[in-house]
Chain A
Amino acid sequence: MDKKIERSFNKEAFLSKSDDEMIICRCEEVTKGEIRKAIHEGMLTIDELKKYLRTGMGLCQGRTCTKLIKNIMAEELNKPPNKLKNLTPRAPLRPIQMQIYANDDLNNFG
């Protein structure tokens, strides 16, 4: 079961940091500052960040950025990174052309 999180409006102003321009999700070109700001606005899980910013939705499916995002979340939310969830792995493991996928199950019916 998911950990209980209480959420109300964050009245504190968002403070930018000197490394906010750094690209964290390379596929979707999402910066550290965008991730920090989304957390500040209430996106408190890795899946909520993904849905809000597209972090981890690109060609690599989060293989590169998941750890980096968890470290940013850990810092912003004051939690150890190993207590945070990972992105859900999605099939297919590698990108696959639609014409190939379309035949994927036809040779092994039964």
Chain B
Amino acid sequence: MKKYDVIIVGAGVIGSAAAYNLAKKNLDVLVLEKEEIGIGGSSRNGGGVRQSARKAEELPLAIYAVNNIWPNLEKELGVNIEYHQEGNLRLGKTEAHRQILADIVAQGQAQGLELELIKRDEIKKICPYISDEVQYASYCPTDGHANPMKTTLAYYKKALELGVKFITGEEVTSVLIKEGKIAGVKTKTDSYSSQKVILAAGYESKFIADSLGIEIPMRKLLVEVLVTEPRELMFDQMIGTAGSDFYGHQSEHGSFVFGGMTGNEPYQFDQKRRVTLKRTAPSISRAILNYFPLLKDLNVIRTWSGFLDQTPDHLPIISRVEEIDNFYLACGFSGHGFGIAPAVGELIADLAAEEDPALNLSSFKYDRFHPKS
């Protein structure tokens, strides 16, 4: 049986970016995927390439990705990934919103991020289509958005070109150990040999890690997005709100892509299938029209949903596993993994290649979740 240098489980944006970075280091890589390329959260997100309003631990990953990777990624991968860096506006109407935004701005500024709290006149200059009711916004000019579907497929395509092999429709069930060392992975129908394994399978990483007795606390959470018919370009900022009732942007194609939640989703069904719920798109529509009343005539043409893989502290797991040499985890991105994915792909590849990663990853260890007492 062929022995690979590294097997990656999961062909999402993290797995594909890791494969691309490992192939650049001349390693022989196999990616195994249960469904198809980018079928999970990688292509089911709002496309935000956002630094603002990230937790202090995660912000350095986003700043690193925006400073070092995103601007050149299109050229590097040879596909138009629709990266636009025209800023992020997080909008607020009330005093309570202003307080939330002020806290976000203070934290970002303390970590050196270009981020300010602006008022209505300044907001209107940046985006004239916003409702007059909006009084405040946090504004980060170096934030932006990209097309998550094309970014994921571009990483996959480039990894293929560099010699990475992908097998899709191949569900990994456990990690194989021989004489105390990683020997490969077992799938439903086959097994594959490798001395190193990276788990980047989103929520499903939990069950594969469990095959080695490694516990990863994560839960699945349904989020929904609606897509409108195209319009001439109205604004190019990434939009969010202090109340977190919707987020999104207008794509290069002209469609608006807006996501959100009613808040009741986790309690409504068993979270097994990706479904769209009858109250969610209406709820997102109301949220959008509260901030962009001008969009009322726009047709919604499609809705879709996807799952977050949420950890207890909403921070990702990007870590080598102490108990088992050559076993690595990249999962639990908690709904904000896309923007940092290019950085994570690079950092996890550095870990697996036994090189020093450019950033300190100690906040993202898999064994940081301790009981209350």
Contacts and interface: CB of A to CB of B under 8 A. Distances in A.
Interface of A: 1-9, 41-45, 47-48, 51-52, 54, 57-59, 61, 88, 90-92, 95-99, 101-106
User: Could you say which interface size class chain B belongs to?
Assistant: 35 or more
Nearest to B35: A2
6 contacts: A48-B37, A90-B303, A96-B299, A98-B300, A99-B297, A105-B283
Given A96-B300, A97-B296, A98-B228, A105 B171 contact: no
B8 to A, nearest CB: 13
Contacts of B286: 102
Contacts of A42: 156-157, 160
A5 B298 contact: no
B36 interface: yes
A44 B299 CA distance: 31
B290 to A, nearest CB: 9
B160 A98 contact: no
B300 A4 contact: no
Contacts of A4: 167-170, 189
Interface in B289-338: 289, 295-304
Contact of B168 (A2, A90, A106): A2
B282 to A, nearest CB: 4
A5 B153 contact: no
Given A42-B160, A48-B37, A90-B302, A101 B153 contact: no
A43 B281 CA distance: 30
B296 A106 contact: no
A31 B217 CA distance: 46
B76 interface: no
A51 B150 contact: yes
B125 interface: no
Contacts of A104: 278, 281-282, 285
A1 B33 CA distance: 11
A104 B278 CA distance: 9
Contact of A7 (B166, B253, B282): B166
B289 A95 contact: no
B149 A9 contact: no
Nearest to B161: A9
Contacts of B152: 51
Contacts of B227: 57
Interface in B17-47: 34-39, 43
B296 A5 contact: no
Interface in B95-113: none
Given A1-B169, A42-B160, A101-B300, A48 B282 contact: no
Nearest to B31: A7
Contacts of A1: 34, 169, 171, 188
Contact of A95 (B166, B167, B229): B229
Nearest to B278: A105
Given A47-B36, A59-B229, A90-B303, A3 B149 contact: no
A98 B289 contact: yes
Given A7-B165, A8-B165, A105 B282 contact: yes
A57 B168 CA distance: 23
B243 interface: no
A23 B144 CA distance: 33
A5 B156 CA distance: 14
Given A48-B37, A92-B300, A101 B171 contact: no
A101 B39 contact: no
A7 B228 contact: no
Given A9-B163, A97-B296, A104-B282, 13 more contacts: A4-B170, A6-B167, A7-B167, A8-B160, A45-B36, A48-B36, A88-B304, A91-B302, A92-B301, A96-B299, A97-B300, A99-B296, A101-B282
Given A42-B156, A92-B303, A95-B301, A102 B36 contact: no
A108 B301 CA distance: 23
Given A2-B168, A51-B38, A97 B289 contact: no
